Chains A and B, each alone.
Chain A
């Protein structure tokens, strides 16, 4: 049958660097990546929140921890994660309400998610250093 030969000859193109995903797909996978990062950071964040609220000394210890250069970099990554997850999440809530489902607005809102989350990260980055 022609259909089977056609099916067999379908090209496989899984050269990942050559696959260019549309912006909404990038928002989607980064929504997942940022969520996973935030999940992994949870114990440290809860510990530091607990410590910082506990006492004057605990607050100073938390402040010292967040002053470490490597920790600052990690915080910046987590700030981006939270911002991206936050903005992309709002976008998904709107999509659930059937707002912006068409291709053009969906791509525009994906661009807004990237722009806003990177801007927020940059603002926090400036404040951190």
Chain B
């Protein structure tokens, strides 16, 4: 089988996770919009939206879904448009590193405030 060095798993898993994370984001977006629309203006109201433990957990799952969803999408874009293997591998690496850094940041953001 002729596999490309900077491809991925070529299978159902990514396809399914792209849709699973999309559904998570869809539900969270609707919940967040309703809560933000009903919040008092200013810092107290804004922080209050994300204060309950269940909302922190939901924000955390949402943000991780965003990062994983972004990985699959951006990887697909590279696979379509970036043909030289070296450049593609470099972009894959930089993107993965950035997304892992964002994930660390997101953990701090969700539980620290």
Q: Chain A interface (Cβ within 8 Å of chain B)?
A: 32, 35-36, 38-39, 42-43, 46, 49-50, 52-56, 59-60, 86, 89-90, 93, 96
Contact = CB atoms under 8 A, between A and B. Distances in A.
A9 B44 CA distance: 70
Contact of B102 (A32, A36, A42, A60): A42
Interface in B47-63: 47, 50, 63
Grouping DSSP codes into helix (H, G, I), strand (E, B) and loop, the B interface class, with mixed when no group exceeds half, is helix
A39 B74 contact: yes
Contacts of B29: 86
Interface of B: 19, 22-23, 26, 29, 42-43, 46-47, 50, 63, 66-67, 70, 73-74, 77, 98, 102, 105-106, 108-109, 112-113
Contacts of A46: 63, 102, 105-106, 109
A39 B23 contact: no
Contact of A96 (B19, B46, B73, B102): B19
